[in-house]
Structure 1
Amino acid sequence: MTASDPELTKELNATLQARKDLGPEYESELIDSFLEKAAQRLDNEVERRVRRELAQQQTAGARVATHGGPARRPTPDGILDPSRRRLGLAVVSMAFAIPLSAIGAVNAHLPGLLVTWAGIVGVNVAHSLGSSLQERRAQAADERRREDF
């Protein structure tokens, strides 16, 4: 999906034409329908990009491991790289930010938009702080193991 996605532009034009034909009483339903289609296209694009990024990281990790480099150790929760979780949350947050912003702005105007973004930022900050704490604990545990030897 590019900045000027022709299919999404056609959908928007069709939605605007339908609004002209049907009148303002169907505006909410038309907007919801368009936002669902836009969110689905965005979700598909995000999923495609995340898969490509994960494949690149796995390929790079395999190259390092096969060329005598340090093998990547999984974290206790089974995920190889904590930055993948951060990237995933950031991508998902942005994917949901678009329809949530529209819903907040349509229903409660500026206060709704501000509350929506405060929630999105809050979730990302909380996740980042939790991840940082987990990483520090893992590093401390590694240092203790090294000291025991």
Structure 2
Amino acid sequence: MDTRQDELRRDLDATLQARKELGKEYEDELVDSFMKRLDARLNARVERSVAERMDDYESPSRQRSHSRRSGSGKRSSTGLAVTSLALGIPLTAIAGSPENGGFAGLVVCWAGIVGVNLAAALGELRNRRTPAERSPRSDWD
């Protein structure tokens, strides 16, 4: 058994010993306390596992660029979306005016904005590693 299971066994033994000493009237509180500790351990293990798997999704080029900048890759895609929408407001006003094309100008303007965001999203998808490249991990690690 590893140390985590030994710790869990000691906690369970302590809970059972406390139940013997305190009696049946404290059984619910003791079980609740043990379950809260067990839940906290499971949550920590799940969070650690999710963090490891998220690290696996980062491509080597994103890891290098991530070390050079202070933000994450998600921030750059969010920044592009926000910038596109912010620039979309004046571009909509300009392209939608009757002298600049009206509705057709709006369609061309927003098709360009959507195209830029779609190209950026597809570029990020292409940089992700495929599931076959990731090393298999056990859910029990």
Where on the TM-score scale, by shorter chain, does this alignment land: which range?
0.3 to 0.5
